Amino acid sequence: MKKALKTFSDPQKLQKWCAARREAGARIALVPTMGYLHEGHLSLIAAARKKGADEIVVSVFVNPVQFGPNEDYEKYPRDEKADLAKCRAAGATAVFFPTPANMYLDGYSTYITEETLAAGLCGARRPGHFRGVCTVVAKLFNIVHPHLAVFGQKDFQQAAVIKRMVRDLNFDVQIVVSPIVREPSGLARSSRNTYLSDDERTRAVALSQALRLAKADVAAEGSVPWRACRAKIVKMLEKAGLTVDYVEAVDSETLAPVKTLAKGVAVLLAVWCGKTRLIDNIEL
């Protein structure tokens, strides 16, 4: 039988409930999100279930600290009612909807900075972004004290940074990274896809097409010079009318740039599709 879905907005109440459940022997999973849930988020809930979690806590919080001053914090899509219904249907057992005021009390002044993996890629283009992500995730870990936490491969760099933070700060949490869920067109599902016009949505298909190109090159030739492949990818993205923010090939563990595409390399890209910034990646 499905359990009733509990909702919390007060961090202390959630913390108390989680502690009691842990004490009673429940295995607790955390799925951190910014809401406006889609199939990608729901796949993380499914992954938590598969890992044997008894309680699956989904946090829905548009975290102001991870947005830059000129980013989309204000207009980020929100729909608590729909999120609640989706969490219920997907088998979550608790949803946490905190407010910025109860997550960041007056005079809040403590932040977590990962200094290596967060430096490049999105970290270089979005100063302070991963500081905000690490801080909120560390807070969620302290509130929920989960046995495991599930993140999406969609945010490849984020998953790497969180894994490093967990290792470096001795968090007692197993990190599970779940594959990218795509629309039938290949476009990676994202809450920000809602910003796209029909025309932009069509053009955005080039992101996943470009990544498949890299994969096909490696499948055909084993290892491929990145310079040549990158040029093809950039051409494809630009032909679709997208503006490249970055296209990089990195070691999938260290995120250090590589010169040759081969197994164990990840290709990551960020592009502007009109006013919307989209990211995607593939691990070879």
Binding site for ligand AMP (CB under 6 A): 33-34, 40-41, 43-44, 151-152, 154-155, 178, 180-181, 188-191
Nearer to ligand AMP, 141 or 151 (CB): 151
Q: Are 169 and 138 in contact (CB under 8 A)?
A: yes
Question: Active site residue: 41, 129, 145, 147, which one?
Answer: 41
Question: Residue 15: CB partners within 8 Å, gap ≥ 6?
Answer: 142, 143, 144, 145
Question: What is the chain's alpha carbon radius of gyration, rounded to the nearest angstrom?
Answer: 19
Q: Which residue is nearest to ligand AMP (CB)?
A: 152
Q: Are 171 and 128 in contact (CB under 8 A)?
A: no
Strand partners, 67: none
Q: Are 281 and 268 in contact (CB under 8 A)?
A: yes
Q: Are 210 and 246 in contact (CB under 8 A)?
A: no
Report in angstroms how near the CB of residue 40 gets to ligand AMP at its nearest: 2
Among candidate residues 266, 280, 131, 118, the one with its CA nearest the CA of residue 192: 280
Nearer to ligand AMP, 104 or 151 (CB): 151
| Helices and strands counted in the chain (H then E) | 10, 11
Report in angstroms how near the CB of residue 146 gets to ligand AMP at its nearest: 14
Report in angstroms how near the CB of residue 231 gets to ligand AMP at its nearest: 27
Question: Residue 108: CB partners within 8 Å, gap ≥ 6?
Answer: none
Report in angstroms how near the CB of residue 64 gets to ligand AMP at its nearest: 13
Structure-block tokens of residue 245 = 């923010």
Nearer to ligand AMP, 71 or 221 (CB): 71
Among candidate residues 199, 210, 153, the one with its CA nearest the CA of residue 176: 153
Report in angstroms how near the CB of residue 221 gets to ligand AMP at its nearest: 29
Nearer to ligand AMP, 34 or 84 (CB): 34
Nearer to ligand AMP, 156 or 226 (CB): 156
41 assigned to active site:
yes
Residues annotated as catalytic (active site), given as ranges: 41
